[in-house]
């Protein structure tokens, strides 16, 4: 093991000293510098303060961290792994400040240093995703395409706004999500299941992608692989949540109680500032998710009924075509439909689709358009939502004060909702037309790009895992 580690380290060092390394590492360093410049900002809507309060409740009252209403902040409604992460961040920050002989401040709006530390996990995850995109693109398409693809993610305005500026954690769960899909592509079902469990226990929304992974593994590896995927996910999940099951009052039950309270009373709207179908039908949080809207059907039920055919289409696509491009495109389509059609969506929940489509674009050129459109929509959704709600005033009063500008803002949100639905229809139509003849693309060994590709010589210098470039159209 030590010999293998030394060999890999030597290869990586040689690559870093090569022309390719001297071109990519400055890009990665610049991505880090840009994020560190934005990170001292305290974020929007008090979200970083909420994360900090949850971290303090884990550190100081672990056995009640889901039961306590921390300092007037929202009851914790994120899964256990996010709670552990926030607890670790505030604990390490407290230790470091204590070693310096100072008194720690855990308010990111008052302490720029704490704001930076609180955002470090997200920054690290975004840089890791940048490396993954670079490695995959370089082995499939060559260095120029890899620099373009990795830079497109690293400096994408919605990515910078979500993490370094706002202080959200979407990149933290997207990282294991991408690794789970790569593990499935590499025919490693147990690892894919473990990584998928990590993803869902950081943020539950990607759970809708589990069916794609199971179908993909069943079709292209075998029924036992699908079972190993489920077993890996279940085992990992049990290990992660075990500390919250061994309390006098199992905190996992309190977590589910908080979710029910949040969706039923604190945020009962059909959309939580996501410019999607439900914003178009009732802008400004006018529709309630659980109240009957069409006969006896609520927006929640209608959303899932509309979402189900898209999932079926995506699953059929990966059943017919086992290529990497088709797998990631199917996942991107599913996330896009999840954002557009189901209820309780927030403005930034299109983030996974951006990353998934970008990796799909390495293998299918048309996915580059979907990635670009998803990124533009995500950025506009976040910026317009901040413009509408960040003043913390009543929305109608705020719009009245803005006058014509307020009317134009509302009109812009409706237009974005229409464009999001048009993007979904176009993406689903293109995906459906691309489901052609049965095709399976075998993953090649590490460092073995397609013969004749521009990456053949480069792969000898950069020994990261790679996948094939071909894909069914």
How does pLDDT run across 216-266, given as a tens digit for each residue? 999 999 999 999 999 999 999 999 999 988 877 788 888 888 888 877 665
């704490």: which residue's tokens? 114
The predicted structure's pLDDT at residue 467: 36
The predicted structure's pLDDT at residue 186: 94
Q: What is the pLDDT of residues 36-53, one digit of tens each?
A: 999 999 988 889 999 999
The predicted structure's pLDDT at residue 273: 86
Angle at 146 between CA 441 and CA 216, to 5 degrees: 25
Range among 252-256, 355-359, 397-401 with highest mean pLDDT value = 355-359
**109 CB-contact burial (10 Å; exposed 0-12 / middle 13-18 / buried 19+):** middle
Helix (H) or strand (E) holding 345: strand 345-346
Q: Using alpha carbons only, how large is the chain's radius of gyration in Å? A: 22
Specify the pairing of strand 271-272 against strand 345-346.
parallel
Q: What is the pLDDT of residues 179-215, one digit of tens each?
A: 999 999 999 999 999 999 999 999 999 999 999 999 9
pLDDT grade, residue 417 (50/70/90)?
very high
Q: What is the phi-psi region of residue 403: left when phi exceeds 0, alpha when psi lies from -120 to 50, beta otherwise?
A: left
pLDDT grade, residue 450 (50/70/90)?
very low
3-class secondary-structure state, position 451? coil
The predicted structure's pLDDT at residue 272: 86
Average pLDDT over residues 294-319: 95
For the chain, which residues make up each domain, given as ranges?
269-280+291-444
Average pLDDT over residues 88-105: 92
pLDDT grade, residue 448 (50/70/90)?
very low
Question: Is it the case that residue 138 has pLDDT exceeding 80?
Answer: yes
Question: Is it the case that residue 395 has pLDDT exceeding 80?
Answer: no
The larger pLDDT score, comparing residue 130 to residue 22, is at 130
Average pLDDT over residues 44-65: 89
pLDDT grade, residue 267 (50/70/90)?
low
Structure tokens at 248: 């006098």
Contacts for 230 with CB less than 8 Å, ≥ 6 apart:
193, 214
């521009």: which residue's tokens? 454
3-class secondary-structure state, position 297? strand
The predicted structure's pLDDT at residue 289: 85
Rounded Cα gap, residues 120 and 126, in angstroms: 10
């Amino acid at each position: 093991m030590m010999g293998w580690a030394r060999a890999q380290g030597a290869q990586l060092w040689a690559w870093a000293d090569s022309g390719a390394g001297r071109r990519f590492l400055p890009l990665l360093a610049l991505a880090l510098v840009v994020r560190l410049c934005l990170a001292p900002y305290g974020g929007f809507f008090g979200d970083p303060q909420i994360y900090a309060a949850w971290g303090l409740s884990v550190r100081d009252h672990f056995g009640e961290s889901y039961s306590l209403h921390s300092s007037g902040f929202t009851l914790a409604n994120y899964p256990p792994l996010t709670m552990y992460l926030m607890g670790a961040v505030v604990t390490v920050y407290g230790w470091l400040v204590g070693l310096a002989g100072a008194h720690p401040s855990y308010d990111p709006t008052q302490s720029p240093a704490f704001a930076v530390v609180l955002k470090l996990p997200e920054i690290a995850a975004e840089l890791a995703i940048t490396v993954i995109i670079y490695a995959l693109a370089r082995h499939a398409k060559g260095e120029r395409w890899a620099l373009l693809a990795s830079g497109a993610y690293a400096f994408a305005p919605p990515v910078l706004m979500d993490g370094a500026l706002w202080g959200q954690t979407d990149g933290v769960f997207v990282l294991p999500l991408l690794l789970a899909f790569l593990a499935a592509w590499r025919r490693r079902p147990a690892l894919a299941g473990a990584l998928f469990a990590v993803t869902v226990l950081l943020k539950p929304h990607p759970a809708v992608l589990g069916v794609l992974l199971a179908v993909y593994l069943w079709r292209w590896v075998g029924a036992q692989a699908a079972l190993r995927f489920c077993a890996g996910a279940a085992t990992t999940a049990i290990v992660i949540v075990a500390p919250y099951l061994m309390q006098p009052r199992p905190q996992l039950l309190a977590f589910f109680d908080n979710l029910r309270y949040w969706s039923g009373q604190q945020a009962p709207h059909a959309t939580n500032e996501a410019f999607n179908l439900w914003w178009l039908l009732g802008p400004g949080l006018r529709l309630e998710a659980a109240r009957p809207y069409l006969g006896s059907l609520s927006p929640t039920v209608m959303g899932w009924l509309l979402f189900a055919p898209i999932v079926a289409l995506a699953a059929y696509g990966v059943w017919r075509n086992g290529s990497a491009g088709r797998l990631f495109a199917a996942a991107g389509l599913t996330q896009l439909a999840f954002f557009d059609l189901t209820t309780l969506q927030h403005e930034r929940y299109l983030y996974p689709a951006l990353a998934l489509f970008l990796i799909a674009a390495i293998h299918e050129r048309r996915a580059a358009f979907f990635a670009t459109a998803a990124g533009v929509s995500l950025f506009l959704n976040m910026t317009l939502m901040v413009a509408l709600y960040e003043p913390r005033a009543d929305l109608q009063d705020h719009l009245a004060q803005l006058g014509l500008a307020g009317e134009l803002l509302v009109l812009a949100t409706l237009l974005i909702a229409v464009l999001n639905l048009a993007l979904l229809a176009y993406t689903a139509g293109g995906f459906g037309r691309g489901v052609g003849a049965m095709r399976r693309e075998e993953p090649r060994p590490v460092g073995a790009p397609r013969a004749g590709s521009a990456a053949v010589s480069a792969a000898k210098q950069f020994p990261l895992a790679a996948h094939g470039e071909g894909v069914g159209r």
